[in-house]
Structure 1
Amino acid sequence: MKKTIATSLLTLGLLSGTAAHAEDYVIDTEGMHAFIQFRVQHLGYSWLYGRFDKFSGNFSYDEKQPEAAKIEVTIDTTSVNSNHAERDKHLRSEDFLNVEKHPEAKFVSTKYSGGKLEGNLTLNGVTKPLTIDVEEIGAGNDPWGGFRRGFEGKTKFALADFGIEKDLGPASKEVEMILSVEGVKK
């Protein structure tokens, strides 16, 4: 009996010692090595591009178990920047982001598989599931003694799904988002 317990404990110890461990990263917004950008058609004639200047987040990733990846990002919606002050004021208004009532947007992942990151996006006070197509860009040591890992994600969603009903024409019903995320290992 003692031998069985000892063998079981040894096996458990060996398995836990060889189990893969996720690495935790903080998204590098201080060094501006991460971006959240968007584009939406303007009246069907051109593309309007913008970004959010302030956001924060972290993620966990294990090369041996990528399906266990997790990410959480919080966006300061008041930091919307389309390179035009009057338009940015309009984007912050009740017509779009309604930043007085909802100064933050948030994405929390729930699943990762086959380059698809699923999670919940809360925007304009509405939470909906969202899928992001993800590509790993690379990972390695940086010149400052740290370790970094980078990904790019792309998604699109209907503005109306998040209570944004402003009519800019039929070509402007969806917004595309591009997320370039570089994390520094904690």
Structure 2
Amino acid sequence: MQFLPKMPRALKVALPLALAAAAAPMVAQMPEVPGKADKTRVVAGTYTADASHSLVAWTVNHFGFNDYFGLFGDVTGTLSIDPANPAASKVSVKIPVSKVITASPGLTAHLLKPGAEGKPADFFGATPADATFVSTSVVPGADGTSATINGDLTLNGVTKPVAVAATFAGAGTNPFSKAATLGFHGTAMIKRSDFNVKMGLPFVADEVKLNITVAFEKK
């Protein structure tokens, strides 16, 4: 059996330092992400939702065993904001229900299946109207980066008040569009029965959690 020669102690110390020194220029050259959670970067004005990067995910409990997830994409809309007066902010978004997706093709098809023989659809039906959310008030949080956005959610032909707990995620310039961009995360809880989506109750839960992520670009 052959043994490697024992590394001198001085080399054991010097080698990691040399490797760290060699890596330092590479770390220094790493580009920074354009968006930062820095509210001083927020530019006042009217913004348009970046539909390709704006999503609403929904979570509903199934049979009391586990949660199931689905997704609405292509969210469009506008945001008016002035960092000097965040309470005056206004947001309006449109959510294309007809583009709902799930991990199960069969379930996705069922969500968009028309009602049989003139009966109402089990869920949204074949040609559901877009859902909309229009803010009625904005209550800024004490931390300066969160807010409660109160508004009217219209879904499945029914309008109900909904509160969204929103958090500022980042601001900066989009490197591709060169537009000033803002990002927000939000959560909300609704009861689907309030919007006449009652299929499967109570085995499929009434409470639906919404997780929202929206990017807005200044135009």
**Structure-2-length-normalised TM-score:** 0.70
**CA displacement at 1:147 relative to structure 2:** 0.9
Query: 1:83 is matched with which residue?
Result: 103
1:140 aligns with 2:172: yes
**CA displacement at 1:87 relative to structure 2:** 0.1
Give the counterpart of 2:65 among 27, 45, 48.
45
1:60 aligns with 2:80: yes
Give the counterpart of 2:156 among 121, 124, 127.
124
Percent of pairs with identical residues: 32
1:126-150 per-position Cα deviation (integer Å, ceiling 9, x unaligned): 0011100000111112223221101
1:140-174 per-position Cα deviation (integer Å, ceiling 9, x unaligned): 12223221101111001111111111124356111
Structure 2 residue identity aligned to 1:151: F
**Contact between 1:150 and 1:181, CA under 8 Å: does it hold in 2?**
yes
1:182 aligns with 2:215: yes
Structure 2 CA distance for aligned equivalents of residues 88 and 158 of structure 1: 20
**Contact between 2:60 and 2:207, CA under 8 Å: does it hold in 1?**
yes
Larger Rg: 2
**CA displacement at 1:99 relative to structure 2:** 4.5
Structure 1 CA distance for aligned equivalents of residues 63 and 201 of structure 2: 5
The structure that is strand-richer by fraction is 1
**CA displacement at 1:55 relative to structure 2:** 2.7
Query: 1:70 is matched with which residue?
Result: 90
Unpaired runs of 5+ residues, structure 2, are 1-42, 114-120, 141-146
Is the deviation greater in 133-142 or in 122-131? Answer: 133-142
**CA displacement at 1:54 relative to structure 2:** 3.0
Q: State the 4+ residue runs in structure 1 displaced beyond 6 angstroms.
A: none
Query: 1:152 is matched with which residue?
Result: 185
Structure 2 CA distance for aligned equivalents of residues 45 and 168 of structure 1: 14
**Contact between 1:44 and 1:169, CA under 8 Å: does it hold in 2?**
no
Unpaired runs of 5+ residues, structure 1, are 1-20
Query: 1:97 is matched with which residue?
Result: 124
1:21-64 per-position Cα deviation (integer Å, ceiling 9, x unaligned): 941111111xx222111111111111111111333111111111
Specify the SS of the correspondent of 1:63.
Answer: coil
Structure 1 residue identity aligned to 2:214: V
Specify the SS of the correspondent of 1:103.
Answer: coil
Structure 2 residue identity aligned to 1:180: T
Query: 2:132 is matched with which residue?
Result: 106
Structure 1 residue identity aligned to 2:85: Q
Give the counterpart of 1:163 among 168, 193, 196.
196
Structure 2 residue identity aligned to 1:129: P
Describe the shift of the 1:67–1:99 C-alpha distance in structure 2 as closer, same or farther (beyond 3 A): farther
